[in-house]
Amino acid sequence: MPKVIGLTGGIASGKSTVSELLTAHGFKVVDADIASRQAVGKGTKGLTRVKEVFGDEAIDEDGNMNRSYVGEVIFNQPEKRLILNEIVHPIVRDIMEKEKAIYLGQGYNVIMDIPLLFENDLQETVDEVWLVYTSESIQIDRLMERNDLSMEEAKARVYSQISIDKKRRMADHVIDNRDTKLELKQNLEDLLLEEGYIESDTEEAQ
């Protein structure tokens, strides 16, 4: 019986890397970030609604959503963030559910890659939750380096989410990513072996 696994983490915890590794082991990944972009893609009803709420400036010259403008608005006006979520979330859920159903119908184990799984209280929609874990200090360091942010800016992004340590206590399984990519790969394979997704000779999950 195929399983539906919710994969989550904190910002800059390394979740995307784990997603790629799981794909290599035969899992099918349904990515919330990709679905979010599709929900407000060029010419979609979602984008039309965004334009109605945020104005013409919400659309760039190519007809796509002006993400920097909308991002700035919702950062400074929390009530607009709620409105955006009301537009986008139902569409995203539909996209992800359809994709999940296709993969399950084909017999695959499915990874629901959802950055804000706990924040949006979605843990009941999956069979298990796997958390990619690193420390807050590492999150901050990685964000500063990756996004060229000040320490204050990086901390603000990290602290806008449920703390990684609280998420650790809420998850069914934890994949440690406090060290090298090689060790992350080994930690993931240890979990897959323990849970029966791969054999000891590292055959791919079916």
pLDDT at residue 136 above 80? yes
Annotated binding site: 12-17
Question: What are 62-99's pLDDT values in tens digits?
Answer: 999 999 899 889 878 889 989 999 999 999 999 999 99
Contact predicate 198/204, CB 8 Å: yes
117 compared with 1, residue with greater pLDDT: 117
Q: What is the per-residue pLDDT for 201?
A: 64
Tell me how far apart the alpha carbons of residues 79 and 70 are, in angstroms, rounded to a whole number. Answer: 13
Q: How far is CA 181 from the centre of its chain?
A: 19
What is residue 52's predicted lDDT score, i.e. its pLDDT?
Answer: 95
Distance CA 145, CA 102 (A): 38
Confidence band, pLDDT 50/70/90 cuts, at residue 205:
very low
Residue positions in the annotated binding site for ATP? 12-17
Give pLDDT tens digits for 3-54.
999 999 999 999 999 999 999 999 999 999 999 999 999 999 999 999 999 9
Highest mean pLDDT out of 57-61, 156-160, 200-204: 57-61
54-57 CB contacts, 8 Å cutoff, 24+ apart: 54/80, 54/84
* CA–centroid distance for 188 within its chain: 17
